[in-house]
Amino acid sequence: MKSNKGILIVVSGFAGTGKGTLMKLLVERNENLKLSVSMTTRSPRPGEEEGVSYFFVTREEFEKNIQENGFVEHAEYVGNYYGTPRSYVEKQLAEGNDVVLEIEIQGAMKIKRDYPDALLVYVLPPSVEELHHRLLARGTEEPEVIERRLKRAAEESEGIESYDYVVVNDDLETCYEELLGVIRSAHFAAFRNEEFIRKIRKELSDYTFD
């Protein structure tokens, strides 16, 4: 049994927890799971592709989109705008696909308010020491930036209890299986299957013994 309408899934986590790799596995291995591509005003990093990593736009373009109600949520994060385009998300959900948003906590809280049925998952590192190592191993950031990111993680950690589930990314494949398990279970939630429950109830009341 799978509820007809797709589930809106929010995945958040500190920088360096491996969310990106997890999201890649999720969409590669599950054709009914779609990853939303956000719009941002930050500059592309080396290797990032327009329309794949993000839609890179100017502040003016972004603000125009806000005015036209083009986002399901948007937030300002470390001096830049980030937003989830509405048209893609609504189309995929209507077609019965699950849509994953990899977004930060302010955006996640807006989704929780506006889409109470959404599923919110937080990805945690196995330890802060391991997180620090991973950030250093990426080699893309200066030590001061890494320190800032860890301080930011401390602030963000305050909101984790507002999420529905947490998964720990120690071993990638294990974490992938756990995340997929959470998503699969969400489809069985009673409140997401009200239509089917109504059908059975109607059949019960109409049933004739002959």
Contacts of ligand 5GP in 159-198 (CB under 6 A)? none
Minimum distance from residue 203 beta carbon to ligand 5GP (Å): 43
Pick from 6, 16, 83, 125: which binds ligand 5GP (CB under 6 A)? 83
Instruction: Kindly report the backbone phi and psi dihedral angles of residue 72, in degrees, each rounded to the nearest multiple of 5, phi listed first.
Output: -80, -25
Nearer to ligand 5GP, 6 or 83 (CB): 83
DSSP string, 125-162: -S-HHHHHHHHHHH--S-HHHHHHHHHHHHHHGGGGGG
Nearer to ligand 5GP, 7 or 111 (CB): 111
Instruction: Collapse the DSSP code of 3 into the 3-class scheme (helix H, G, I; strand E, B; otherwise coil) and give the result.
Output: coil
Pick from 23, 75, 109, 175: which binds ligand 5GP (CB under 6 A)? 75
| Radius of gyration of the chain, Cα coordinates, nearest whole angstrom | 19
Structure tokens at 179: 């995340």
Structure tokens at 209: 């013994």
Contact 44, 59 (CB under 8 A): no
Nearer to ligand 5GP, 3 or 176 (CB): 176
Structure tokens at 142: 């200066």
Region from 72-80, 128-136, 162-170, 185-193 binding ligand 5GP, contact rule CB under 6 A: 72-80
Minimum distance from residue 190 beta carbon to ligand 5GP (Å): 29
Instruction: Collapse the DSSP code of 80 into the 3-class scheme (helix H, G, I; strand E, B; otherwise coil) and give the result.
Output: strand
Contacts of ligand 5GP in 1-30 (CB under 6 A)? 15
Q: What's the CA gap between 136 and 131, in Å, rounded? A: 9
Tell me the residue nearest to ligand 5GP as measured from the CB.
107
Minimum distance from residue 73 beta carbon to ligand 5GP (Å): 6
Structure tokens at 178: 């756990």
Residue 102 binding ligand 5GP, by CB under 6 A: yes
Pick from 5, 27, 30, 42: which binds ligand 5GP (CB under 6 A)? 42
Provide the residue count of the chain.
Answer: 210
Structure tokens at 59: 């502040």
Interface with ligand 5GP (CB under 6 A)? 15, 38, 42, 73, 75, 77, 82-84, 102-104, 106-107
